[in-house]
Chains A and B, each alone.
Chain A
Amino acid sequence: MSGSGILLLFLVSSSIFLLLGLALVLYVMQYQKRMMQQGQAMQAAEVRHQETLLSASIDSQEAERSRIACTLHDGLGPSLASIRLRLLMHGQEHPNQQLFLEDLSELISENIQQLREISHDLLPGVLKSYGLQAALKELLQQVDQSTSTNTLLNTTGEAIQLSETQELAIYRIHQELVNNTLKHAKASRIELRIAWEATQLTLLYQDNGIGFELEKQHVGLGQYSMESRARALGGNLELTSQPGQGMQCQLQVPFSKSNPDPS
């Protein structure tokens, strides 16, 4: 073979190997990119699935709470009231047992009151009748009346009627926050600011309690439930706290005035 023939052979073989290598490199890049995109899509689908499950779980929990509240309020409550009335009547007919029966009647009254409170916690009637703002106001008033913690509610902007699901979720989040403050924070003051903006509702809850280190705090069921409810609303919940500086929680819920429910 002549010199130029050999040179051509080397040139062709090197070019072929170079092109094959280049094709392989490009293929690897493309394939890897596609695999990663597929992986991300699968992950996103999994997150969506989890959120659907979460939403269904919250709905069923609320339905169950509602059923229990109705049973307590409409079934057990009137029954206890009726028993109490009969005991009082029996006491009038038998004066020698009156003292004992009045004691029993008092005990039943206390139970009826407790039952009403449980029923109210499970399904706050004021939320359905008067809306979110009134329900939150009542929640804070209860704290004011039954504990040594003072509360302050501040509202700005024009309130609009959100969907029942949204209002219940926001109410539950604040119920949890109030419970946490009363149980752990040793706070003397709770403040809630509600700001109705053009496309979102912002609620800023803060207490002046002992606070905690957020990074060291174990994410409990309560916090998980609050975050889940915020996610189901399409909103954003941000907790901040420092030891000795109380706790702040900002909840932002987007809405459209024509269609308040983002879901």
Chain B
Amino acid sequence: MKLIRLALRNLLRQKRRSILLGSAIAFGILFITLINGFTGSFIENVGENFSNLMAGHIFIDGVEKSSSGKDLYLIDDDSRIMDAIEKSGIEYNFLTKRSEIRGTLLFEGNGINQSIVGADWEKESYFKERIILKEGTFENLSDPHGIIVSSKIAERLNVQLGDHVIVKMQTYTGQQTAGDFTIAAISIDTGLFGSISCYANILYVNELLNIGPDKYLTLGIYLNNLIDTDPVTAKLLPELEKRINLFSRETTDDGNPFMAILEQQEEEEWDGVKYRLTTINDLLSEVEEIVRILNIAGLIIMLVLFAIIMVGITNTFRMVMFERIQEIGTMRAVGMHRSEVRALFLFEAFLLAIGGIISGYILSGITMFIISRVYWGVDTPLFMLLKNGYMTFRLAPLQIILNFVIVTILTLLAAFRPADKAAKLEPALALSTEK
């Protein structure tokens, strides 16, 4: 205890120097905490945004082989799927039934390859909360041929509200066809993925695909929470397996179930419809890889930063030792052990680290609070990483503890050599040394 008080007093004797060293440590902590905080919410935000974009967390679609071996996607009769959902007892927010066209939108010599999602917008009322319109209204979708395009698509096609566009596409079985749409509304472009799809009425989309009005391509299950995805899937799968022919989600090692399903689709032959169950987490596993890389990069940068800070700490403690050489000699002469001298220096380094780390965390908290209050808008390329236009941060307690331990050890290591050197000083030699 005496040593700790002594170490604290020594640090306070050279306030400016201690503050500078502590600030360097605090800066390092601020840097790594911001990265960890950002990546911590990265998965959650990307997952939620993808779920909104794709209208679900769990997706089921039916695949059958054409006579030429090509995969055709269609849910012809969903009664057994609905039964499985009901019997499994899973909780969900809502179900979405969607059909999709991939074709070329044409207007006065301009053409863009685009996906057009067809849904029953009366039933999918939540949709109106997810898409922000720049021009037009959702009521315009009452026109069976109405279509909502993003502002970027509207700009590239040079279309305005009420313009008629043609879509060149294929039917469900791959035959050529064309459809007519009227621009019902223009949505705000939400960055990278915002222009992926246009939105239209499912009845007309089905008519163009040449499938019945009550059929569709994908059933989406929108859950209450992203983190429910895996447990709900585990509950639903056995019930589905009892009722329909389902592709296996089993993978070797830690492979992606979606990739495993694609492989089965390529390799297997089957009669009738075989169903695929995929989840938002199958897609997010690729995003998780990005997060892992970001965290590793953050850790490497932190280690480089602390290598520089360590050099500063080592030099400062060598200087401190030289400044206090006679004091060390006196302490040793009055009976202080070598180990106590070493411990005194290391306590100083420890307290410095603690001060720097706590300051760093406080600074991080303030910075994150300020950044999370900034509204970045919905038309930013960062949109997929944001939560409703705001940047959010999430820190795992284990990550905080790990960074704490790493920085403390590094600071102690940096101070160890000067501390050891001070401990090994001969009292007589130390007392006779002139500064």
> Do A and B assemble together?
no
Interface residues of A (CB under 8 A from B): none
